[in-house]
Chains A and B, each alone.
Chain A
Amino acid sequence: MSENKVNSVSQNKITALSGVFIALAMILSYLENLIPINVAVPGVKLGLANLVTIVSLFKLGLKPTIVISIGRIVLSGVLFGNVTVIIYSLAGAFLSILVMYIVKKIKIFTVTGVSICGAVAHNFGQIIVAALILENANIMYYMLVLAAIGALAGTAIGILSGIILKNIRF
C-alpha cells in the first residue's frame, strides 16, 4: 500500500522536490551526453534521466512527473541542444510517462517492468517523430534496435530505481 504514501507528501514539498528533481535529471542528461552510444539513430540514450522520472512517478505522482520532465527537457534543450532536440525529446518523454503511468496502474510488473515499458515507449515515440520529420516511414526498422536497447537499459534503470525507492525517504 505504498500508493497511499504518495498523498502524504505535501504540496510544498512536491514543489521543492520538483526543483531538485529537475536539476538532478539535467545532470544525468548531461552525463549521458558524454557517453557516446553509436547506434545510428539520433537521440538514443541509456535513459539515465528516466531514473528521476520513475522515482518521481512512484513518489510524487503523475502531474509533478510531467512538470519535471518538461522542465528538464526544455532547460537542457536550451542549454545544450536546439528546438528539434526539444520536440524530439518531448515526444519520447510524453509517450514514456503515459505508458509507465498505465503499466504502473495495471500492477502486473514491478518498478523494473514499468521501467522497461517506459524505455521502449520512449524510443518508439522518438522514432515516430523522426519518421514524421524525415517524411519517411521506412526508417521505422530502427525500432528493432531501439526496443532491444530500451528493454536492456530499462531493466538496469528499473532495478536502480527500485533500490532508490526502497532506501530513500522523502
Chain B
Amino acid sequence: MKPEKEKLISIGDIVLLATVILLCVVVTVLLVTSREDGLEVEIVSDGEVVKTMELKKDAEYEVVTDRGTNLVVIEDGQVTVKEADCPDKVCVNHKPISMTGETIICLPHKLVIEIVE
C-alpha cells in the first residue's frame, strides 16, 4: 500500500453533507408551513381506521389488539400516547401532535395515529 495521503474528508464529502442537510431543512420548512390546525384524529390499526375523534373534545381511547395496547389521549386539542406496552416506547415519547398530516407511529403494534382535516 502506498503511503498516499488519503484525506479523511474531502470538499466533495462536505458538499454532499451540506446538500442533504439543506434539502431536509428546506423541505421541512415547506411542509411545516403548509400544515394547518387539524380537526380530527384518526387511529389506524393494522391498516384500518378503528376510531376517529374530534380534537376539540378532551378524550381517551385505548387501542387493544393482540399485539398490545396503546392509550391515546386528546388534551387541549393535542394528541399523545400516554401509555403503551410496546418494547420501544417510541409512540409514548413522541411529542404531542395537532397539525394536519402529523402522525405518531407504533411499529410493534402496527398503529398509526394521524391528524386529519
Contacts and interface: CB of A to CB of B under 8 A. Distances in A.
Q: Pick the 3 closest A-B CB pairs, nearest first.
A: A135-B47, A113-B13, A151-B20
Interface string A82-125: 10100010000000000000000000111111001100100000
Interface of B: 1-2, 6-10, 12-13, 16-17, 20-21, 23-25, 27-28, 31, 44, 46-47, 87-88, 90, 93-95, 101, 103-105, 107-108, 110-112, 114
Interface string A45-63: 0000000000000000000
A113 B16 contact: yes
B31 A112 contact: no
B13 A158 contact: yes
A11 interface: no
Interface residues of A, number: 42
- Secondary structure at the B interface, as helix, strand, loop or mixed, is mixed
Contacts of B112: 134, 136, 138-139
Interface string A128-148: 001001111011010011011
Interface stretch (A20-28, A36-44, A64-72): A36-44
B46 to A, nearest CB: 8
A133 B110 contact: yes
